[in-house]
Structure formats: structure tokens, C-alpha cells
Amino acid sequence: MSERAQSAGWRLTVAGVALAVSIFAVAWFAIAALGAKFGLWGWPFGLGKMTLAWGPLITGFALGLSVIALIIGMIKSPRVQPVILALAALLIALMIGFRLIGFKAQAGSLPPIHDIQTDWSDPIRFSESLLAQRKSDDATNPVEEAPVIAEGADARWPGMGGRLVSEVQEEAEAERVVDGETVPPAYDRPIEPVYFDQSPGEIAALALQLAEHQGWTIFSPPATGQDVESTMMEATATTGWFGFKDDVAVRIRAVDGATRVDMRSISRVGLSDLGANARRVSSFMDELEDRANGRREP
């Protein structure tokens, strides 16, 4: 074998190892999430340790090794195979790195709340049966009518500890000025009730269909008869990766000649939901509004 071929061989090996490490980094994050979902370890370990603590270290190592492999591969001919493998490793590592940066930026821009609803002045109350289910599943977040953010949130979100969740949610829905700078809304649109001309029973039937289509586990279905004046649906939504469970309640009732729909979504664990509950409420209410020609005013 020629000296050139031998040189290409070890450089190709380095590039191959770099690609393998980058692929392992992708698998690491999937293992962290799925292990938590299927009960191999708790979510604090899967998310806190494996993903947020060790994940960036593994990603940084993959990124550094891929850069070294790329530099070595370009030193002399033959370059094609080592460079291609090194570039693939670099692109994978960069993809993971940008994803982590975006995740941390998103976490910092969203308020530390995990309980969202359309009307805090008249909060939705979950049934005793669902509250018992939450307790049996070791839910750590209480369901309260006027919840406040834990004092410990000040470490990451200064000034948030002890504030009412309702006030923080309202701020997150609107553009505001902080220290002379305009801060855009944290949520895409306000979390608000929707009104319909159809009867509560008709809207309840449609809401149940949408919830089932979302893949939620229906805990208590709503009443759907023609004579229904007020009803509520309770369900549990489970996230795809870590398997986080959020409980959902949709309240449907006749108000001043129209049918009003309110909704609440609350996580069972965790301080910040990274906007998951707000997105769930917004998307569900938007789809319900579109399907039944609803409106945002009575």
C-alpha cells in the first residue's frame, strides 16, 4: 500500500469516528427523552442531567472532533472521503448545537408558569376524580384557583417569584416596554374564550372529536344532548418525547344567548412548561373556532 493510501486510511478513520460521535450525540438525546417517557429514569434525570447538563458536553465534543477531522482531512490528497465524512459529522453536530441554543433561548424568553387558562377571574375547577388521579400519579404541581410562581424561580427568572400566574400570563400575551425596550408577546396570541351560535351540546360534541383527534386520553367526556346548558370535558395530553402529562379541562356553557367555551391546561410536573400549555390551548381553541364559525366576542 502506498504512503498516500495509508495516510488517507488513518485520516478516514478519524473522520469516521467523528461521524460516529455525532450520530451518538443524536441518539443520546433520544435515549434521554424516551427513557424518561417509558419509566427507565425520572424526568429530572432525563431532562435535567442527560439533556441539559451532559448533552451540551457531548455535543461540544462531537463538534470539536468533527472540526479536527475536517482539518486533518484537508491536509493532503486523497481528500474526498475524509472531508465528506467530516463535513457530515460537523453538520450533525451543528444541528444539535443550534437546537440546544434555540431551546435555551426559548426557555429564557417564556415565563416560568405551567398553568394556563382563558379566564382567571372565573377559574375552571377540575373534578375531584381527576385531582385524585393526579395525586396517584405523583403530580407535584397543585391545582389552585389563584396560583403564584414559586420563590425559587428568581434564580433563573428574576422578580418572578411570588407573582400571580394570572398576571404573568396576561403580560406574556401582550407587547410591553421593559427598561425602555419593546418586548414582543411571549405567546402567539391572547389566551381567551371563544363564543358560538350553536348549542352547548353541539359544541361539546365537536370539542370531544377534536380532543380525540389530538390523541388526548379522555378522562370525563362532556354531555352532548340538545338540552345541555353547561358541561365540561376533562382529558390528559401526553407529550411525545419525555412523556410529560398535562391535564386539560374544556368548559362549555350557555352565556347571554351564546355558547361560551373556556379552557385550562396544567402540567403535572415542572416549573416552566416552555409554552406547551399556551400552545395547546391556542391551537385547540383556534381549531374549534374555525370548525364551528366561532368568534372572540359574545
pLDDT-derived band of residue 178, with 50, 70 and 90 as boundaries?
A: low
The pLDDT of 263-268, averaged and rounded, is 98
Q: Whole-angstrom Cα distance, residue 195 to residue 231?
A: 15
* Domain boundary assignment for the chain: 3-109, 115-146+190-291
Q: Whole-angstrom Cα distance, residue 110 to residue 171?
A: 11
Q: Is the pLDDT of residue 131 over 70?
A: yes
Q: What is the mean pLDDT of the chain?
A: 92
User: What digits encode the pLDDT tens for the residues 271-290?
Assistant: 999 999 999 999 999 999 99
Angle formed at CA 58 by CA 56 and CA 63, multiple of 5 degrees: 90
Q: Whole-angstrom Cα distance, residue 282 to residue 207?
A: 14
pLDDT-derived band of residue 3, with 50, 70 and 90 as boundaries?
A: very low
Q: In terms of CATH, what superfamily is 115-146+190-291?
A: Kinase associated domain 1, KA1 (3.30.310.80)
User: What digits encode the pLDDT tens for the residues 195-217?
Assistant: 999 999 999 999 999 999 999 99
Q: What is the DSSP letter of 176?
A: E
> Is there a cis peptide before residue 158, judged by omega within 30 degrees of 0?
no
Q: And the C-alpha cell for 266?
A: 396544567
42, exposed or middle or buried, with CB in 10 Å at 0-12, 13-18, 19+? Answer: middle
Helix (H) or strand (E) run with residue 167 in it:
helix 165-172
Look at residue 20 in the predicted model and tell me its pLDDT: 98
Q: Is the pLDDT of residue 294 over 90?
A: yes
- Which of 289, 278, 223, 214 minimizes the C-alpha distance to 253? 223
Helix (H) or strand (E) run with residue 40 in it:
none
Q: Are strands 245-255 and 230-238 parallel, antiparallel or unpaired?
A: antiparallel
